[in-house]
């Protein structure tokens, strides 16, 4: 496997017809993991993800750390990727 794809779609039923149901209509993705389980087994194995790219990245405002998609590859929930500003 050389990649996985996550597509985010706006929804007319969400706030302002955006991506999420919160007040702003946006969302923040803080972590992405790929887990493998072999058929017939209950053992999960984490597959390391080494790179993340996005068609859009928010510019963090003020002290905010949500913007860069590469930040979804660590285990720190204080940073991550956001749709904020994608008009």
Instruction: For 7-74, give the DSSP string.
Output: -----TTSGGGSS-SSSSS--EE----EEEE-TT---EEEEPP-----S------TT--B--GGGGGS
Average pLDDT over residues 55-73: 81
Average pLDDT over residues 15-42: 89
Average pLDDT over residues 78-85: 84
- Is residue 61 predicted with pLDDT exceeding 80? no
User: Mean of the per-residue pLDDT values for the chain?
Assistant: 86
Domain boundaries, the chain: 15-87
- Which of 29, 39, 69, 27 has its CA nearest to residue 52? 69
pTM for the structure as a whole: 0.75
Res. 23 pLDDT band, cuts 50 70 90: confident
- Is residue 17 predicted with pLDDT exceeding 90? no
Which pLDDT score is estimated for 40? 95
Which pLDDT score is estimated for 67? 83
Which pLDDT score is estimated for 86? 66
- End-to-end distance of the chain based on CA atoms, in angstroms? 32
């Amino acid at each position: 496997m050389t990649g996985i794809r996550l597509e985010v779609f706006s929804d007319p039923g969400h706030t302002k017809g955006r991506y999420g149901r919160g007040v702003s209509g946006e969302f923040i993705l803080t972590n992405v993991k790929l887990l493998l389980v072999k058929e017939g087994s209950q053992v999960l194995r984490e597959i390391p993800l080494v790179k993340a790219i996005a068609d859009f990245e928010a510019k963090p405002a003020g002290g905010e750390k949500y913007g860069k998609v590469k930040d979804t590859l660590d285990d720190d929930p204080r940073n991550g990727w956001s749709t904020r500003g994608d008009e």
